[in-house]
Amino acid sequence: MSSLSEDARRQGERVGLTADTIVIHGGKPLTGRIDVRGAKNLVTKAMVAALLGDNVSVLKDVPNISDVFIVKGLLEAHGVIVTETGDGELTFDPRNVTSAHFAEIDAHAGSSRIPILFCGPLLHQLGEAFIPDLGGCRIGDRPIDFHLNALRAFGATVTKLPQGIHLTAPERLRGAHIELPFPSVGATEQVLLTAVRAEGVTELKNAAIEPEIMDLIAILQKMGAIIWVEPNRTIFIEGVDRLGGYTHRAISDRNEAASWASAALATKGDIFVANAKQPELLTFLNVFRKVGGEFEVFEDGIRFWHPGRPLTPVVVETDVHPGFMTDWQQPLVVALTQAEGQSVVHETVYENRFGFTDSLNAMGANIVVHQDGIASITRRVPHRKLEQAAVITGPTPLHGADIRVPDLRGGFSHLIAALAAEGTSTISNVGIIARGYEHFIDKLRVLGADFELAD
Ligand code: UD1
């Protein structure tokens, strides 16, 4: 099992980032134009979907992020031929799918949860699948019980082994009635990727309906699947005997767009995010506007800028779509440190997503995390058992600090904070950011950031 820093370095190296550390001289607004490509949260799943076909698939607008390389490695380990057929265009030939060795799957997977989504397609293609090492650091505390229960409902046998989890399906998987305890994105994708080729009809209740899931459904439909999305989070899937390939342009990355929007706000900057799309960002844009951020939607992207006057505090709750996405809160919290008064961010999707605030406090922020959440009269989302709330009191000047990036979105927030802060910050483990932010070093350069890379 590799350490976090080895893993981070590998993530960076996969996309050509050899440095471990970035030294940032902050206090300068980020201004300029950058672009976002296909959504990390769709592209990786679309790549897995290619496994289900008996013909070649083509995916366009694939970003150069290390998560894509992880899935590419896993597909290749299973005999899929992956070819780069253009800038951001990958072609998948799944006509010779084979079993991969435990160790090979483990080596490619790193800290990623992606192998979980290979289960359904591999059970259909080969009758068996393997998920590596669920012990701890690889998948952390994020459970996979919804996934395993769904796979069992389809008829798979789940066996826990010392190296991980082995799944078998001696017979064709059968459609099932499944109700998720929470509208999990990954578990919904698991059900879709399994049900499309199962025998009979699957009913999925309490499904996630994120835009990336709708895009995955569009891909599966192109391949020949029959999927009905009903009101009230219910999805019916009529299983078919075979699926073909697809040609698809991935939906744009709304999480990356929202991150750069928050970067513009936190650094008092002005950023045009080419290819950012308004429909998937409606909720984010409402909050951005309430904080005082300015934006204008164009045909080819969205311009985000600081209003030049004090920012307003907000109360916001993360939620499943169409709510305020949990991945948007970390970059926004950095901007909220500069709002005049007290903001509250309730995290209701994950039980532990405020670890990054320790470093912000070390830079001068005033953020108190309440582990059991707090009551608020303006709540829209009902309380969940494991939620947390962060109370951010601003404005507080930020100063440079030495920070070790803990995870993807937290790491991007640290970058923004360092760019907004007066003085110099040294941020290590930056390879993790390459998991989901394409060419982020080049983009920082384009936006006028003052920094150098170090080992
Ligand atoms: C996906 C996204 C991530 C986003 C999240 C929520 C990808 C690659 N990642 O993650 O960016 O923040 O959706 O929108 O698409 N849970 C269980 N048991 C399970 C599965 C999930 O209890 O078997 C819980 C999780 O611990 C969490 C909640 O359900 O509290 C939501 O997780 P989920 O929607 O599954 O997130 P991911 O699919 O992992």
- Looking at residue 379, its pLDDT comes to 63
Indicate whether residue 322 lines ligand 1 (CB < 6 A): no
Residues 170 and 314 in one domain: no
Q: How far apart are CA 47 and CA 441, in angstroms?
A: 26
Indicate whether residue 46 lines ligand 1 (CB < 6 A): no
Express each pLDDT in 357-403 by its tens digit. Answer: 999 999 999 999 998 788 776 666 666 666 789 999 999 999 999 99
Q: Which residues contact 64 (CB under 8 A, 6 or more apart)?
A: 15, 16, 88, 438, 439
Give the position, in ligand 1's atom list, of the atom nearest the Cα of 186.
38
Instruction: Indicate the pTM of the whole model.
Output: 0.95
- Looking at residue 99, its pLDDT comes to 86
Contact 429, 391 (CB under 8 A): no
Residues 270 and 356 in one domain: yes
- Looking at residue 10, its pLDDT comes to 77
- Looking at residue 115, its pLDDT comes to 86
Q: How far apart are CA 149 and CA 199, in angstroms?
A: 18
User: Hey, whose CA ends up nearest to atom 31 of ligand 1?
Assistant: 184
Q: Which domain holds residue 265?
A: 3-36+252-454
Give the position, in ligand 1's atom list, of the atom nearest the Cα of 409.
11
- Choosing from 214, 249, 284, the residue where a domain stops is 249
- Looking at residue 164, its pLDDT comes to 87
Give the position, in ligand 1's atom list, of the atom nearest the Cα of 184.
34
Point out the residues of the chain with pLDDT beneath 70. Answer: 1-4, 133-142, 377-386
**153 DSSP β-pair partners:** none
- Looking at residue 17, its pLDDT comes to 83
Residues 128 and 258 in one domain: no
Indicate whether residue 26 lines ligand 1 (CB < 6 A): no
Residues 24 and 152 in one domain: no
Residues 50 and 172 in one domain: yes
Indicate whether residue 387 lines ligand 1 (CB < 6 A): no
CA–centroid distance, 408 to ligand 1, in Å, is: 14
- Looking at residue 195, its pLDDT comes to 98
Residues 73 and 175 in one domain: yes
CA–centroid distance, 386 to ligand 1, in Å, is: 14
Indicate whether residue 146 lines ligand 1 (CB < 6 A): yes
Q: What is the DSSP string of 116-177?
A: GGGHHHHHHHHSEEEEE--SSTTTTT---HHHHHHHHHTT-EEEEETTEEEEE-SS--B--E
Residues 92 and 207 in one domain: yes
The strand ranges marked E within 251-314 are: 270-274, 294-298, 301-305
Q: How far apart are CA 207 and CA 334, in angstroms?
A: 31
Residues 177 and 238 in one domain: yes
Q: How far apart are CA 433 and CA 261, in angstroms?
A: 17
The three state secondary structure string of 422-436 is ECEEEEECHHHHHHC
CA–centroid distance, 359 to ligand 1, in Å, is: 24
Residues 89 and 203 in one domain: yes
Residues 280 and 378 in one domain: yes
Indicate whether residue 349 lines ligand 1 (CB < 6 A): yes
Torsions phi, psi for 386 (to 5 deg):
-105, 15
> Catalytic residue positions?
137
Residues 281 and 229 in one domain: no
Residues 398 and 445 in one domain: yes
Tally of structural domains, the chain: 2
- Looking at residue 377, its pLDDT comes to 60
Structure tokens at 170: 């001696």
Ligand 1, from 182, 253, 284, 318: best to mutate by most atoms within 8 Å of Cβ? 182
CB-based burial label for 260 (10 Å; 0-12, 13-18, 19+): buried
- Choosing from 249, 273, 296, the residue where a domain stops is 249
Residue 423: which CATH number?
3.65.10.10
Tell me the CA distances in angstroms from 310 to 296, 328, 392, 395, one per residue in order: 19, 21, 15, 9
- Choosing from 211, 229, 249, the residue where a domain stops is 249
